[in-house]
Amino acid sequence: MAKEEQDLLEKVVSLCKRRGFVFPGSEIYGGLANSWDYGPLGVELKNNIQQLWWKKFVQSRDDMVGIDAAVIMSPKVWEASEHIKSFTDPLVECKKCHQRFREDQIGKDCPSCGNKEFSEAKQFNLMFPVHLGSTEDSGVTSYLRGEIAQAMFVNFKNILDSTRVRVPFGIASQGKAFRNEITPGNFIFRTREFNLMEFEYFVREEDWEKWFEYWRKEMLNWLKDLGIDLKHVHEVEIPDGERAHYSKRTIDFEYDYPFGQKELYGLAYRTTFDLDNHMRSSGEDLNYVDPESGEKFVPHVIEPTFGIDRSVLVALLDAYHEEGDPAKDGASRIVLKLPFKLAPYKVAVFPLLKNKPELVKKAQEIYKNLKQDFNAVWDDRGNIGKRYYAQDEIGTPYCVTVDFDTLENDTVTIRDRDTAKQERIGIKDLPSFLRDKLS
Ligand code: GAP
């Protein structure tokens, strides 16, 4: 990893901790390796990403419905989906230091001790077993879900029976997934517990290529919504033998992380693999019947999948900017250039001086009013320059300052995060100014 790039990850991780985006998990107990908690700003960013996705792919479309399913499903689901048999990664052990690695993620030398001899690769299952029941010898063993997709297949009949969807249509979901990863790491890039959003899009067999192409383009459009420069994204066709067990075609969207080009999202053609398996195992009829022609068939599935934590990570990496050279002009700033819709706070409100009650009173009025419609934040610490610096660092797009002119003419200054330019604007125009940025 180049020094500069390594620095970028370190800087983002440090900013996340310092300003309350992401904290190391269980920290007061010395931490739990590869577990992370979203803090006050991180949860806003993550929720904004999830809400934007839900609005784009579910609420604003006529061909998509959502579900929110249980994390623990019947073990029969995972047998039918072949996750128990095939959801594995190849594991090798270094013969010298006995560290274990994913065979496909290392070169010829052990990343830990440099030794060149490894054990034979064996297939390591990623599913997390959970014991259900109050005693060791009663109850059943099931699994924390390894992907959220299965709930969409298992509820396929419920959706057909309770809604008016017609092929082509999709079922979408967001939520936690769990995988006993052999080598988690790189901050929130690969963890054992992570957040996913994805949909299963049901189509006629003859249309699968058309829809695969359609969703490929929509995934790129989504990345633009996240503010990602598409120069940092690469589409990689996954060859035979390397795809997940259910997929006949997969494109991975890979991103230039500071630790290398790696997977961000995936797009898979799952054929009728899952519905066929569940039909066979459950005995339920999972055919779709065309209401006009009466034609009966099992729909084919296109699946766009989006890791939420990786979305948060790339949004932060792409947004992170350092401007100015402290050695040259003494003025430098860190700016998170997050798109308005993703920014944790949309606007900060300050009184020019903290010790002037008339300014504080007016600024509080404006703040409380804006807070009803936007996530606004109050700041009266230090001087204005320090407040701007603090807001730039967490990506707040606008700062509103109440000064003595405000008391005369009901105008304020509004400062733009990216250009650092200020303009005067009427107090009454603030809500529409901000609302425009949301559309
Ligand atoms: N239903 C399809 C599916 O689960 P996947 O490629 O195995 O496909 C989907 O996972 C997405 O979840 C990935 O593209 C990635 O964004 C994210 N992801 C996978 N494993 C992860 C992990 N251990 N930690 C964080 N995100 C992960």
User: For the chain, which domains are there?
Assistant: 3-87+130-317 (3.30.930.10), 93-125 (no CATH), 345-438 (3.40.50.800)
Q: Is 196 in the pocket of ligand 1 (CB under 6 A)?
A: yes
Tell which phi-psi region holds residue 334, choosing left (phi > 0), alpha (psi between -120 and 50) or beta: beta
Within 8 A by CB and 6+ apart from 385, the residues are none
Q: Is 309 in the pocket of ligand 1 (CB under 6 A)?
A: yes
Strands ordered across the beta sheet of 72-73: 72-73, 140-144, 128-132
Cβ-based neighbour number of residue 306 at 10 Å? 25
Asked if residue 218 has pLDDT above 80, the reply is yes
pLDDT at 327: 63
Mutation to probe ligand 1, out of 38, 186, 310 (largest number of atoms < 8 A from CB): 310
- pLDDT tier, 374 (very low <50, low <70, confident <90, very high otherwise): very high
What is the number of the ligand 1 atom nearest to the C-alpha of 311? 16
CA 48–ligand 1 middle distance (angstroms): 20
Asked if residue 330 has pLDDT above 60, the reply is no
Of the given ranges (25-39, 272-286, 325-339, 410-424), which has the lowest mean pLDDT?
325-339
**H or E segment to which residue 220 belongs:** helix 208-225
Mean of the per-residue pLDDT values of the chain: 95
The rounded Cα 93 to chain-centroid distance in angstroms is 32
To the nearest whole percent, how much of the chain has pLDDT over 70? 97
CB-CB contact of 277 with 150 (8 Å): no
Give Cα separations from 236 to 94, 255, 261, 360 (angstroms).
Answer: 30, 10, 11, 55
**H or E segment to which residue 213 belongs:** helix 208-225
Apex 323 CA angle, 320 and 329, nearest 5? 155
Q: What is the pLDDT of residues 271-303, one digit of tens each?
A: 999 999 999 999 999 999 999 999 999 999 999
pLDDT at 438: 86
> For residue 311, which phi and psi values (nearest 5 degrees)?
-65, -45
**DSSP annotation string for 383-400:** -HHHHHHHHHHTT--EEE
Q: Is 103 in the pocket of ligand 1 (CB under 6 A)?
A: no
- pLDDT tier, 331 (very low <50, low <70, confident <90, very high otherwise): low
Q: What is the pLDDT of residues 46-92, one digit of tens each?
A: 999 999 999 999 999 999 999 999 999 999 999 999 999 999 889 99
pLDDT at 26: 97
**H or E segment to which residue 64 belongs:** strand 64-67
Please report, to the nearest 10 degrees, the dihedral formed by the alpha carbons of residues 150, 151, 153, 155 taken in order. 160
